Amino acid sequence: NTTDQWWKKSVVYQIYPRSFHDSNGDGIGDLPGIIEKLDYLKLLGVDIIWLSPIYDSPNDDNGYDIRNYQEIMNEFGTMADFDQLLEEIHKRDMKLMMDLVVNHTSDEHEWFVQSKQSKDNPYRDYYIWREGKDGKAPNNWGSFFSGPAWEYDEATNEYYLHIFSKKQPDLNWENPKVRQEIYQMMKFWLEKGVDGFRMDVINMISKAPGLPDGEQHSGQLFGDGAPNFMNGPRIHEFLQEMNKEVLSQYPTITVGEMPGTTPEDAILYTNPERHEVNMIFTFEHMDLDSAPGGKWNLKPLYLLDLKENLAKWQTALHNKGWNSLYWNNHDQPRIVSRFGNDEEYRVESATMLAACLHFMQGTPYIYQGEEIGMTNVKFSALDEYRDIETINMYKERKSQGYSHEEIMASIYAKGRDNARTPMQWDDEEHAGFTTGTPWIKVNPRYHEVNVKSALEDKNSIFYFYQKLIALRKELDIIVEGDFQLLLQDHPQLFAYKRKWQEESLIVICNFGDKDVDMDNELLTRISDYNAILSNYPSSSIEKLRPFEAVVLTR
């Protein structure tokens, strides 16, 4: 029932603080900068703000490497700024979700500083230390950010595990003391009044005993450790414990970021009777344009794959679990450049993609700039990029013999900095993001793509998102209805039907840049439906224009 599950009706907006709004001219977004823009978010209509990490950090991975969980990053402001931000959010009747990064800490966190001291330090077992095997790493796992997942420590002659960068050592969740420390830290934030958590790679906290080698395919530098650390043996036990000791004590909203998760796993994580998390971020739909060997190996998206995949998730979770809906976040390229057309049909394809997603079942997430159709960037030199994943990958592939052009093509398509260029507020210098020098270059298209011009144009992407958010509040069918894929084999149209009690809702989206005739059979079927939304000024259902989307109800 949706009254105590209010988050089912909510829309979340993600802020990547470093790139959102800079209030003091140092080129880095900050908390006072966010406060200045809260009325803008209220105008959009979102209910919840998810803040990417704002904790004290040496910024090896832009705050996903935390040095102190209970302090604010200097560049972002002070704890007083935070308290004010929370108050201003609540004043506007919105809620705040914090990023909870507890698979790993920074190597500069006091626990790790201690842990490194000696094998008998009381903090040694806070992390995952192992002896080498025949002078090599304890197993063959690779890190997500290139290179091995193990770093050798000379002083104690052991290796520590880091699934991400070597400045992000993995915490040892087998140690009950670690779990208690984390629960206490979560309570510190909940006591302040935050409304919940987005949990970073939370399905990776339980590692398979013995940390066995992963399968290593020919041509690969490392084995695939994922089956031994994603959805590991104690994951449900850990989440249920966290729920019992912390989450259930407060009114919270939680979303677990969970790469490598199937619908069956998702049901275990999100079925309310199991008391784990409210919903998760899944990744299958973000992997459809990757060839074997990972995200940097490009492959075009086939619409049939996308339809089949999203339909599978919609059907499997109905009445059994709950999913989040997203096209974008700070790790993904911009959706309009990825599955749409960011040139001639930027507005049409951005709105079509939004409609296609927002009428599905789940809680939608909007990533900053998505609501104005921000696009990918193409910087020519590597030193214009900031992301550790991109920089490490470049070096690794260079040493493997890839050409600069080949590597840049991957970065243009998939690099995380596509999402991290500064928010484009207006067409003044640096897009109104800062009066100083931005920490990463502004997308040169800010003259055309910015908040100010979006707000002045009643047909803008911004107002389309505003409508989608408002419709979710009006039409219970969006939250409750079941899902049926229509025109399953149509190569250009993504159409689906939602049904709830006596009501039906149909969404038809043209994913192509050409006109397409409507399917005759479907046309007859919808003759007694009324169009409630279209992304063109006037819609005619017989022929859908490039990236046209139409939504009908009966």
Determine if 338 is a binding residue for ligand ISL (CB under 6 A): no
Residue 26 or 426 having the CB closest to Ca ion: 26
Rounded CA separation 418/328 (Å)? 11
The only residue of 7, 50, 64, 197 in contact with ligand ISL, by rule CB under 6 A: 64
Rounded CA separation 411/111 (Å)? 35
The only residue of 31, 72, 201, 311 in contact with ligand ISL, by rule CB under 6 A: 201
Is the separation of the CB atoms in 50 and 13 below 8 Å?
yes
Residue 363 or 424 having the CB closest to Ca ion: 424
Rounded CA separation 451/428 (Å)? 12
Mention every residue, 6+ apart, whose C-beta is less than 8 A from residue 383. none
Determine if 55 is a binding residue for ligand ISL (CB under 6 A): no
Reading the block at residue 493, the tokens are 């149209």
Is the separation of the CB atoms in 32 and 23 below 8 Å?
yes
The only residue of 8, 124, 167, 295 in contact with ligand ISL, by rule CB under 6 A: 295
CB of 68 to ligand ISL, least distance (A): 16
Determine if 50 is a binding residue for ligand ISL (CB under 6 A): no
| Count, residues near ligand ISL per rule CB under 6 A | 14
The only residue of 13, 20, 144, 150 in contact with ligand ISL, by rule CB under 6 A: 144
Beta bridge partners of 503: 500
Beta bridge partners of 158: 153
Residue 112 or 496 having the CB closest to ligand ISL: 112
Determine if 27 is a binding residue for ligand ISL (CB under 6 A): no
Q: Rounded to the nearest 10 degrees, how much is the dihedral formed by the CA atoms of 332, 280, 367, 294?
A: 0
Residue 230 or 247 having the CB closest to ligand ISL: 230
Residue 163 or 354 having the CB closest to ligand ISL: 163
The only residue of 101, 478, 550, 551 in contact with ligand ISL, by rule CB under 6 A: 101
User: Would you name the residues annotated as active-site residues?
Assistant: 200, 257
Is the separation of the CB atoms in 385 and 404 below 8 Å?
no
Count CB-CB contacts under 10 A for residue 68.
16
342 binds, among Ca ion, ligand ISL, none (CB under 5 to 8 A by kind): none
For 222, phi and psi rounded to 5 degrees? -135, 165
* Residue matched to tokens 């020919």: 218
> Would you give the distance in Å from CA 121 to the centre of its chain?
37
Strand 324-325 relative to strand 530-534: parallel, antiparallel, unpaired? unpaired
Q: Rounded to the nearest 10 degrees, how much is the dihedral formed by the CA atoms of 422, 427, 430, 436?
A: -120
Q: What part of residues 171-200 is at the interface with ligand ISL (CB under 6 A)?
A: 200
26 binds, among Ca ion, ligand ISL, none (CB under 5 to 8 A by kind): Ca ion
Q: What part of residues 157-176 is at the interface with ligand ISL (CB under 6 A)?
A: 164
Determine if 61 is a binding residue for ligand ISL (CB under 6 A): yes
Amino acid at 81: D
CB of 200 to ligand ISL, least distance (A): 5
Q: What part of residues 235-274 is at the interface with ligand ISL (CB under 6 A)?
A: 257, 259
Q: How far is CA 344 from CA 327, 412, 513, 516, in A?
A: 20, 19, 9, 17
Determine if 331 is a binding residue for ligand ISL (CB under 6 A): yes
53 binds, among ligand ISL, Ca ion, none (CB under 5 to 8 A by kind): none
266: left (phi over 0), alpha (psi -120 to 50) or beta: alpha
Residue 376 or 534 having the CB closest to ligand ISL: 376
CB of 417 to ligand ISL, least distance (A): 11
Count CB-CB contacts under 10 A for residue 515.
12
Mention every residue, 6+ apart, whose C-beta is less than 8 A from residue 260. 203, 226, 230, 231, 283
Strand 253-257 relative to strand 279-281: parallel, antiparallel, unpaired? parallel
Reading the block at residue 195, the tokens are 């409304």
The contact pattern for ligand ISL, residues 376-415, with x = CB under 6 A and - = no contact, is -------------x--------------------------
Determine if 327 is a binding residue for ligand ISL (CB under 6 A): no
CB of 296 to ligand ISL, least distance (A): 9
Residue 18 or 472 having the CB closest to ligand ISL: 18
64 binds, among ligand ISL, Ca ion, none (CB under 5 to 8 A by kind): ligand ISL
61 binds, among ligand ISL, Ca ion, none (CB under 5 to 8 A by kind): ligand ISL
Biggest CA–CA distance in the chain, Å, is 76
Q: What part of residues 271-290 is at the interface with ligand ISL (CB under 6 A)?
A: none
- Applying CB under 5 A, which residues contact Ca ion? 22, 24, 26, 28, 30
Mention every residue, 6+ apart, whose C-beta is less than 8 A from residue 332. 286, 338, 367, 416, 418, 419
22 binds, among Ca ion, ligand ISL, none (CB under 5 to 8 A by kind): Ca ion
* Residue closest to 554 by CA, chosen among 532, 533, 530, 534: 530
200 binds, among Ca ion, ligand ISL, none (CB under 5 to 8 A by kind): ligand ISL
For 177, phi and psi rounded to 5 degrees? -65, -40
30 binds, among Ca ion, ligand ISL, none (CB under 5 to 8 A by kind): Ca ion
Residue 333 or 546 having the CB closest to ligand ISL: 333
Determine if 417 is a binding residue for ligand ISL (CB under 6 A): no
99 binds, among ligand ISL, Ca ion, none (CB under 5 to 8 A by kind): none
CB of 368 to Ca ion, least distance (A): 16
Rg of the chain (C-alpha set): 23
CB of 387 to ligand ISL, least distance (A): 9
Reading the block at residue 281, the tokens are 């971020």
CB of 280 to ligand ISL, least distance (A): 12
Q: How far is CA 518 from CA 102, 339, 485, 486, 521, in A?
A: 49, 21, 16, 12, 9
Footprint of ligand ISL on this chain (CB under 6 A)? Answer: 61, 64, 101, 144, 164, 200-201, 257, 259, 295, 330-331, 389, 416
